[in-house]
Amino acid sequence: MMKKDKKKIIVEGISDKIFIEELLKFMGIKNRFDVTASSGSGRKCEITNKKRIKTLVDDALDDGYKEVVILIDKETQLQCGVKYECLVELKEEYRKLMGLPLNVKIIVVDREIECWYLLWVENLKSYYSRCIKNAFEVYKIRQNSKPLLAQRAVRDIEKILKNRHKNRSFIYFLNSL
């Protein structure tokens, strides 16, 4: 499939890329998307780095992608110093801050993407408040490796999709594709 028929999705880090690619693959639509991470495995918040995002968006637009989508989460924005409670306000402020054109789609999810990893867990409410910490516990990962966590989570992708109704952000993301 040519790039003009594909969407480019820009996510925050390697773990998000791993999970989103596997999700798209499982859903049978991977060939309609290319996923790239704005930062590597370090703890830098490159999703708010104007120069980095501008380069990724400009490259995707120059490459002729049908659509460019940036996936951000509210929790990351709070950690990076931007503090908005309203997701629509955050989305518009992010567009303005990054100097993004209107033809770039921004998807803001309410919680960290790692919350999606836990959708199959029986007692979700007890896991929802501290997603990353609880995900490491559920998947029995002792080291602080988000890429490893994502690799483990994709093993449960079928159960995660089956329970998507438990998370409005996940449903919103899927419907936005």
Task: With cut-offs at 50, 70 and 90, classify the pLDDT of residue 40.
Answer: low
Task: With cut-offs at 50, 70 and 90, classify the pLDDT of residue 36.
Answer: very high
State residue 115's pLDDT score. Answer: 87
Report the predicted TM-score, pTM, of the whole model to 2 decimal places: 0.89
Task: With cut-offs at 50, 70 and 90, classify the pLDDT of residue 47.
Answer: confident
State residue 129's pLDDT score. Answer: 67
Instruction: Annotate the chain with DSSP letters as a single string.
Output: --GGG-EEEEESSHHHHHHHHHHHHHTT-GGGEEEEESS-SSS--GGG-HHHHHHHHHHHHHTT-SEEEEEEEHHHHHHTT---S-HHHHHHHHHHHHT--TTEEEEEESS-GGGGGGTTSSSTHHHHTTHHHHHHHHTT--S--HHHHHHHHGGGHHHHHHTGGG-HHHHHHHHH-
Give 78-91 pLDDT, tens digit per residue: 556 656 667 777 78
